[in-house]
């Protein structure tokens, strides 16, 4: 026969493992809708990015992004289907951590696409500025007599001053 202390120890360990499992399932059940909603929101953002037809996008990058998002969408559909038919007392096949990991991966891909678009836009802007400077330099070389845009020009006259000049070409003294 076992002593009372051995009995109490075994009872507490069984109760603790049982309670931990119940608490984990409850936490997962309560947090799951929020995690799925967040994943759905990230997928929707990704679809909007895929729908934008930016001619400056890298085709390989866009293709890889599209394939990645389609894979995540399929995973989301599988998870949603399995979790919808699951009872509250069953162990979930997917944890909220796995769902959040998928959301973070989608968000990282979205940020990568945005950063690449921004970088390419900056490069195009800088190239346009350099081209404009080259054109101005070529014009100055071709027409050295003409004043450059850097020199001071007299301020423009307002309507009344222009009318006075037209009527009376001699300024008042």
Q: Give me the residue spans of the domains in the chain.
A: 32-128
* pLDDT at residue number 81: 86
| Cα–Cα distance measured from residue 85 to residue 58, given in angstroms and rounded to the nearest whole number | 41
Residue 45: per-residue pLDDT: 92
Cα–Cα distances (Å) from 149 to 57, 139, 157, in that order, read: 36, 11, 19
The 3-state secondary structure of the chain reads CCCHHHHHHHHHHHHHHHHHHHHHHHHHHHHHHHHHHHHHHHHHHHHHHHHCCCCCCCHHHHHHHHHHHHHHHHHHHHHHHHHHCCCCCCCCCCCHHHHHHHHHHHHHHHHHHHHHHHHHHHHHHHHHHHHHHHHHHHHHHHCCCCCCCCCCCCCCCCHHHHHHHHHCCCCCC
**Residues 121, 77: Cα–Cα separation, whole Å:** 35
pLDDT at 111: 93
Residue with tokens 């450059």, as numbered in its chain: 148
d(CA 29, CA 168): 88
How many Cβ atoms from other residues are within 10 Å of residue 32's Cβ?
Answer: 18
pLDDT value at position 39? Answer: 93
pLDDT beneath 70: ranges in the chain: 1, 144-173
């Amino acid at each position: 026969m076992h002593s009372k202390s051995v009995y109490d120890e075994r009872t507490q360990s069984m109760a603790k493992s049982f309670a931990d499992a119940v608490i984990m399932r409850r936490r997962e059940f309560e947090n799951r809708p929020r995690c799925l909603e967040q994943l759905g929101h990230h997928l929707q953002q990704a679809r909007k990015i895929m729908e934008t037809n930016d001619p400056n996008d890298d085709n390989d990058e866009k293709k890889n992004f599209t394939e990645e998002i389609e894979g995540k969408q399929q995973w989301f559909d599988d998870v949603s289907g399995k979790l919808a038919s699951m009872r509250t007392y069953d162990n979930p096949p997917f944890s909220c951590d796995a769902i959040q990991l998928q959301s973070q991966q989608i968000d990282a891909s979205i940020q990568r696409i945005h950063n690449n678009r921004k970088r390419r836009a900056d490069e195009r802007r800088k190239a346009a500025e350099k081209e404009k400077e080259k054109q101005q330099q070529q014009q100055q070389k071709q027409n050295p007599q003409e004043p450059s845009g850097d020199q001071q020009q007299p301020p423009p006259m307002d309507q009344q001053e222009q009318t006075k000049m037209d009527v009376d070409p001699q300024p008042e003294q």
